[in-house]
Structure 1
């Protein structure tokens, strides 16, 4: 009986080790899929899907990664996303932008690199758009530190009559456009 239990423990131990190593391999596959994801595609399934978009602005390639929350019947502006407070401009980890050549944003130069994008929504008037050097924040604005801001600009939102359920960030020839609920926030980039 003791021998049978020993053999069973060994088999279970080997199976458990195999299972753990398989999970580890699958995780790295998801990470690899993220780095090779085509433009404007959902790269991970979760409540607020992780999205990655790519495009050209003034002939310069730009990549943006963000979590795309949905309205789900909630009041967004001034409630879920408070006015006059730093917002991670998406869900989950910080939204970030990556590019290899300098960009001119509202007349100011942003050197090549990776930057998180934060915004400060306002009930009226222009919003503040922040490019921060700490781009890999797991918990978005909860880890935000103003001293790492590289550039702050303003952008004037417009409000649409129809509502868009899921947040999107588009790379267009004139820059970035953030859309969610009735918000349309263009960020001019050259």
Structure 2
């Protein structure tokens, strides 16, 4: 039974979830500064997102499916914390007025545990590299797709937005 699950059911479930939460890749390049984020982008679909689908004060895999990954070639500063070069899994703890953003050395195969029915993340807290807290901004226009991208208006930010919520993390090289 376990063999059928891991070789038939699990790949089928992953394929089905990716139809509803497509994979996205975002790249930021400026001279030698190169950042990349890979994530799955779920849809709002008339659901209450933060505080309901994504509970407050609970670690979220930050998107859907596999964990979101963040890559930097060089040491950078995320807000006021130094992040060495490498690829990290990106986790968040959304709250009503602020989010905790966590960069973790471990990149698990899937963002949640199967045995928990998707309620528990696969994050190993012992592998956390940095954790920062950023304020929430309210959006006037609803974002239907969960989105991660970069804003550079003289100051660089990585942002995450969904529903009527946006958070921005300052990035410096």
Q: TM-score, normalised by structure 1?
A: 0.72
Deviation at 1:61, TM superposition (A): 0.5
Superposed, 1:37-186 pairs within 5 Å as: 46-56=19-29, 60-124=33-97, 126-140=98-112, 142-173=121-152, 174-186=156-168
More deviation, 74-83/165-174: 165-174
> Would the alpha carbon gap of residues 53 and 84 (structure 1) be closer, same or farther in structure 2, given more than 3 Å must change?
same
Q: Which has the higher strand share?
A: 2
> Would the alpha carbon gap of residues 167 and 144 (structure 1) be closer, same or farther in structure 2, given more than 3 Å must change?
same
Q: Which runs of 5+ in 2 are unaligned?
A: 1-17, 113-119
Q: TM-score, normalised by structure 2?
A: 0.79
Cα distance in 2, alignment partners of residues 116 and 165 from structure 1: 24
RMSD: 1.8
Q: Please give the per-residue CA displacement for 1:47-94, whole angstroms capped at 9, x wherever unaligned.
A: 100101101368510010000000001110101000000001101110
Q: Which has the higher helix share?
A: 1
